[in-house]
Amino acid sequence: MTKHAKQGDGWFRDAIDRAVCDLVHREFFHFEASISLPIFYSNGDSVVVDVRPSGNGFVVTDSGATYQEADSVGAAAFFTRSARKWAEESGVTYDAQTFAIRDVAENNLAAAIAQVAECSRRSYDIAYEKLCAKKHEEDEQALYIRLVSIFTEKRVVPTAKVVGASNHEWEIDALVMLDGNRALFEYVSARNQTSYTPVAAKFHDIARLDNPPARVSVVPSFEEMGDVVALLQQASTVIELSSSDNKIVSAATILAA
């Protein structure tokens, strides 16, 4: 018989009770309570919601803390848009960079706290995703401008469609028409799977064609991408966005030659 079995289920209930107590934490400051919830931003910090008495009910608010979180990663502009959208859909107000629900009755207090917390976290997450996407778009645009400056506008097709060996049609960031050959350029902005996996998949499929075009993966820097460079290299030439014109030309022609 194990030690736990001999002790009955008291130890188990105690462990669960302690864990449940650790999930939520509250702190009072005069007539304001700050409640830390088991909902976390991507940086690991918990969402905190403040409650104050007001009239016959309560005001539940994030006190602008979510905006500050978004601003600290440079996503304030995106946050303002996502906050308004989510606030409207969640029955929460968003004014002066603050989420709030007013005139909350005591029997609805728990639901209102959860509502503000959920709205805060969702708005932050969307703003952060958009910030990452914007950087990707800017770099894609920078790549297109580089390619046009090297190969001229008439040879560079942005967001071109190419059919791979599987007959699947892939969208490519830029197609460069060379004399008798083609080169495909894809920008990989970040070392996360949603960024590099589609590029690896499409280049592997296109590489299986009988007469495949040159395939070039462009990354912000080798240092930033780490071992993802080796993965992309299996089916493409990998260069940095800051590479010289000569290097870009040779990447475009090396496999197509």
Q: Which residues bind other proteins (CB under 8 A)?
A: 22, 25, 27, 29-30, 32, 34, 36, 40, 42-48, 63, 65, 68, 72-74, 128, 135, 190-192, 220, 223-224, 226-227
Nearer to other proteins, 68 or 233 (CB): 68
As measured in angstroms, the least distance from the Cβ of 10 to other proteins is: 24
Nearer to other proteins, 46 or 108 (CB): 46
As measured in angstroms, the least distance from the Cβ of 94 to other proteins is: 18
Contacts 24+ apart (CB under 8 A), 102-110: 102/54, 102/57, 102/59, 103/54, 103/55, 103/56, 103/57, 103/59, 104/57, 104/58, 104/59, 104/60, 105/57, 106/57, 106/58, 109/51, 109/58, 109/60
As measured in angstroms, the least distance from the Cβ of 65 to other proteins is: 8
As measured in angstroms, the least distance from the Cβ of 177 to other proteins is: 29
Nearer to other proteins, 47 or 256 (CB): 47
Nearer to other proteins, 25 or 208 (CB): 25
- Report how far residue 162's alpha carbon sits from residue 172's, in angstroms, rounded to the nearest whole number: 7
All residues at 6 or more sequence positions from 40 whose CB lies less than 8 Å from its CB, including other chains: 46, 47, 121
